[in-house]
Amino acid sequence: MATLKKLFSNILFTSALFLVLGGLLIFAPRETLELYVRVIGVIALVAAAVTLLVDFLQTRRPRSGWVIAGAAAAAALGLCFLLAPGFVTGVFPFLFGVVLIVISGFELLSALQLPFGKLLTILLSLGGLVLGVLIVCNPNGLASLMTRLIGLALVYEGVVGFVTAAFVKTAERR
């Protein structure tokens, strides 16, 4: 009985969390992404500080240049994420589009050398090229669409969780 009560409360909590996060991603995708990027920036800064602190507190061994360089890189990345989240959220979709263009271009060149099955491979490669160009032309649109789709998935999981919680509550009463 206690296990079902605990399960019920855990399902309710995660379902409510999914609904809130999903709603934020659906109705304010850009702001939510920027908030997540800032949180990652703070985490990177804290990780860099903790790494340096631990390294300097261990006085029995010589200082590692790699540890200091890694902490400096994490701090620089954390500052970039913290101070310019809009830049970060705009760069990743753009880079994804560029990578898609390059990969699709190589696939197209390979498809032209195939002895059979050329047409389908050529069409798929051209589709990848067109999609890559569209992404490069509007990287923020892709980020907004993907964020909203993730938000819809979270809202769906939240609703499924509440339905599951109702079944758990029914089982608990028996």
Q: What is the model's pTM?
A: 0.64
Structure tokens at 50: 């903790």
Integer-rounded Cα Rg, in Å, for the chain is 24
Angstrom distance (rounded) from CA 33 to CA 85: 8
pLDDT over 70 at 74, yes or no: yes
The model's pLDDT over 110-166, given as tens digits with 9 standing for 90+, comes to 888 877 767 888 888 899 899 889 888 988 787 788 889 889 999 999 999 888 888
* 79 in Cβ contact with 41 (< 8 Å): yes
Strand ranges in the chain using DSSP code E only, listed in sequence order: none
In angstroms, the CA 28 to CA 32 distance is 6
Three-state SS string over 26-73 comes to: HHCHHHHHHHHHHHHHHHHHHHHHHHHHHHHHCCCCCCCHHHHHHHHH
Q: Residue 166, CB half-sphere, CA atoms under 13 Å: how many?
A: 5
- Which pLDDT value is given to residue 1? 64
pLDDT digits (tens, 9 = 90+) for 3-49: 777 877 888 899 999 999 999 989 988 888 889 899 999 999 999 99
Residue range 78-103: mean pLDDT, rounded: 88
Residue 138 three-state SS: coil
Contact 46, 160 (CB under 8 A): no
Q: What is the mean pLDDT of residues 96-111?
A: 88
Find tokens 């261990």 and name the residue.
Answer: 58
The three-state secondary structure class of 17 is helix
pLDDT band at 88 (very low <50, low <70, confident <90, very high): confident
